[in-house]
Amino acid sequence: MLNPVSSQLRVGVDVGSRCHTVAIGLSDGSLLEEFEIPHTADGFREFFTRVEACGRRHAVPIAVAMEGYNGHVRPLDSLVRARGWRLFNVNNLKLARFKEIFPAAAKSDRIDSRKTLELFQLRDHLPMAAEVLQEVMATPEDNNVLKRLSRRRRRLVNERGRLPTPCRPTFRPSAQGFWRSPGTSATCGS
């Protein structure tokens, strides 16, 4: 049996591409609020306003778990980390296995956000539930710099790949007589 976590405000977020479904509860299993927010700056403000209000009312630390894919979690995840709250990622593959063992009603975003709160509750007692929720640790600043540089390099390579190899945008005006539409045999510089 795992060690139980002290009292905390737990937030389950089912992340979508346009809106996110949020469930807020306490570590004793009680559900405090459920709501949806749009994936906009105003939606994020509403999220933090409501979660912080619950946090002040109950005077407990806050932990957030998000189920998402395809990068739709950004920038909400970094905003949560910036507030110093604990952040958990819901491993979707392990969640699917968990749902096979512990079936629920038909899938909906509301049910998924509540299921995330359930996982918080069960992770204190069931190792399989603990594997579904994985804590997101802060990354070192060097990693963030490397990520930005890698993305910049990839962008430059992709931009270069869209132009015919011997031609560069600065040479196009001087090569108008040689420039032909794609599919013709002549190329710039030949």
Per-residue model confidence (pLDDT) at position 104: 64
Containing structural domain, residue 131: 9-135
Residues 157 and 102 in one domain: no
Whether 187 is in a domain gets the answer: no
pTM value? 0.68
Whether 188 is in a domain gets the answer: no
Whether 37 is in a domain gets the answer: yes
Mind spelling out the 3-state secondary structure of the chain? CCCCCCCCEEEEEECCCCEEEEEEEECCCCEEEEEEEECCHHHHHHHHHHHHHHHHHHCCCEEEEEECCCCCCCCHHHHHHHCCCEEEEECHHHHHHHHHHCCCCCCCHHHHHHHHHHHHHHHCCCHHHHHHEEECCCCCHHHHHHHHHHHHHHHHHHHHHCCCCCCCHHHCHHHCCCCCCCCCCCCCCC
Q: Which amino acid is at 23?
A: A
Whether 29 is in a domain gets the answer: yes
Residues 104 and 128 in one domain: yes
For the chain, how many structural domains are there in total? 2
Residues 125, 22, 147: CA angle, nearest 5 degrees: 85
Higher pLDDT, 1 or 100: 100
Mean pLDDT across 99-104: 68
Residues 86 and 146 in one domain: no
Whether 182 is in a domain gets the answer: no
| Least trusted range by pLDDT, from 16-20, 56-60, 102-106, 111-115 | 102-106
Whether 127 is in a domain gets the answer: yes
Higher pLDDT, 20 or 134: 20
Residues 119 and 40 in one domain: yes
Residues 96 and 169 in one domain: no
Residues 151 and 123 in one domain: no
Whether 3 is in a domain gets the answer: no
Burial 127-148 (b: 16+ CB within 10 A, else e): eebbebbeebeeeeeeeeeeee
Residues 93 and 77 in one domain: yes
Mean pLDDT across 24-43: 93
Residue range 41-72, pLDDT digits in tens:
999 999 999 999 999 999 999 999 998 766 77
Give the mean pLDDT of the chain.
Answer: 79
